[in-house]
Chains A and B, each alone.
Chain A
Amino acid sequence: MSIKNKAFIGGIYEHPTRKAIDKSVAQLHAESAAGALADAGLSPDDVDAYYCAGDAPGLGPLSMIDYMGLKNVRHMDATETGGSSYVVHVGHAAQAIAMGKANIALITLAGRPRADGMATGTAPRNYDSAAPDVPFEFIYGPTVVNMYAMAARRHMYEFGTTSEQLAWIKVAASHHAQHNEHAMLRNVVTVEDVVTSPMISDPLHRLDCCVISDGGGAIVVTSPEVAKSLQRDCVKIMGHGEAPKSIDNGQIDLTYTGARWSGPIAFEEAEVTPSDMDYVSIYDSFTITVLETIEDLGFCEKGKGGSFVSDGNLISGQGRLPFNTDGGGLCNNHPMNRGGLTKVLEAVRQLRGEAHPAVQVKNCQLALAHGTGGSIGTRMASSTVILGRADS
């Protein structure tokens, strides 16, 4: 039993806002949903499955189904794995459709951390005091950035990775973002710009970190029959993997992510290999997130990510592995501190041939989108989806 080619992405939408002072979270979800349904040429009444994660207010699917007036939902999923949730949702939607439980699934994400003035990366986050790990971690001041910084430092120690190599990831993202009118950071930067930007938490500089943005997005996943009936170029879902990674009872290793497992599962289901990929969207909360993920997914050997990403190898039209051609989380947006959904959106644009002409990969047939959720410094979940042109 496989999901290969049994479900299609028929509609997508990226909310253009980056600071939503005058909109509620529910409103941003609904505007994103409307955008993706319009893109597919479908209506809210067509939706028979709905998926959302922890960014949805209230009781998740129940609150949002009510708010959006969805009348025909018969399948729901509120899997919450942080920023990777939406890549997980794409896989779960494909499974539900392959099983005949749904025909048209809607996935939404939205949030307004900027408008709410959240100190996203540098202050310890609010925590659930019943979470069993909290008494042994929160007291030490873990933040998003210092957790990823500890992973970066260990990777440098074991493999000789340098700050300059990490900087190349941001440089590539900035080359792409200059063409995206919605991107928050459109200036092309150099390796020197990155390594001389202020140190936030060693060894990560300000420009190693993603943006903080409001906004959202939505995806419509459909059955093959529905996909055929749409006017849109649909993208087929070929394989999917998801995997958690924990602190392993104290046997901590911060040099890899759950992509080590989610990637091979997805590639095997899709019956393709990393070298078949024409384009990749890789979760980029920080430069180190991209570096470890590229290694874990098998685009290069473990420990060789530093040299792999250098010298423009991730820049579309120049390098071997064009990545995040919308500018990604490092330059474009990171709605609600969750970048998994937007990773899928740019992969779909590439496969449709609708990326910006300056960054569009020629004859893009196969693409990968990868999400990372939680923290690579502690407990996290990875999810990988392999997508293809309907005619590939």
Chain B
Amino acid sequence: MSTQRIFPAPPESIEHKEFWANVNEGKLLLPRCKDTEQFFWYPRKISPFTLSDNVEWVQASGKGVIYTFSVMRRAEPQYVIAYVRLDEGVTMMTNIVECDPDLLAIGQPVELLMQESENGQKIPVFKPA
């Protein structure tokens, strides 16, 4: 795509300071419930499996495949919203960037990159691997 959408900044949240600080350093942290050893998404300090705070951060490999996507044709500039299923087994909402939207497909491998939002905070997005 010729021009890229300007990402809004994620609203600040007491619960997610560490997550976003790590994104600025190029790391996508996934929350994992230590009681059940299961990853979950989106990040929380409370495990949705046990309601305990026994949750740890694990750095994601940054590899995944497209679960589904859509090109927002009525936006200027157009952009691709997607769900990406990470190798760690959870699926996250994201944008696919640096791509020809007409060549994307479900099941396609993608890889993580961080891009700046409007206030300088980086956000995790994906591009074709």
Contact = CB atoms under 8 A, between A and B. Distances in A.
A143 B72 contact: yes
A202 B95 contact: no
Interface stretch (A15-23, A146-154, A295-303): A146-154
B72 A139 contact: no
A200 B74 contact: yes
A107 B17 CA distance: 43
Determine chain A's interface SS by DSSP, over half rule: mixed
B9 A249 contact: no
8 contacts: A140-B81, A149-B70, A150-B69, A154-B106, A201-B73, A250-B42, A251-B91, A252-B67
Most buried by B among A135, A142, A150, A250: A250
A146 B95 CA distance: 12
A140 B70 contact: no
Contacts of B75: 122, 141
Given A122-B74, A141-B72, A136 B106 contact: no
Contact of B42 (A136, A141, A143, A251): A136
A130 B9 CA distance: 14
B117 A139 contact: yes
B40 A141 contact: no
Interface in B29-51: 38-44, 48-49
Interface residues of A, number: 36
Given A140-B81, A249-B48, A153 B93 contact: no
B11 A142 contact: no
B7 interface: yes
Contacts, number: 111
B73 A200 contact: yes
A132 interface: yes
B68 A157 contact: yes
Interface in A245-282: 247, 249-252, 254
Nearest to B90: A250
B93 A136 contact: yes
Interface of B: 5, 7-11, 13, 15-16, 20, 38-44, 48-49, 67-75, 79, 81-83, 89-95, 106, 117, 123, 125
Contacts of A154: 67-68, 106
Interface of A: 122, 129, 132-143, 145-146, 149-151, 153-154, 157, 198-204, 247, 249-252, 254, 378
A201 B79 CA distance: 10
Contacts of B11: 129, 134-135, 138
A252 B82 CA distance: 12
A151 B123 CA distance: 24
B42 A132 contact: yes
B68 A151 contact: yes
A154 B106 CA distance: 8
Nearest to B16: A135
Contact of A201 (B13, B70, B95): B70
B92 A136 contact: yes
A133 B44 CA distance: 9
Given A136-B41, A249-B38, 16 more contacts: A132-B42, A132-B44, A135-B10, A136-B92, A136-B93, A138-B11, A140-B7, A140-B93, A141-B5, A143-B72, A150-B69, A150-B81, A250-B89, A251-B91, A252-B83, A378-B93
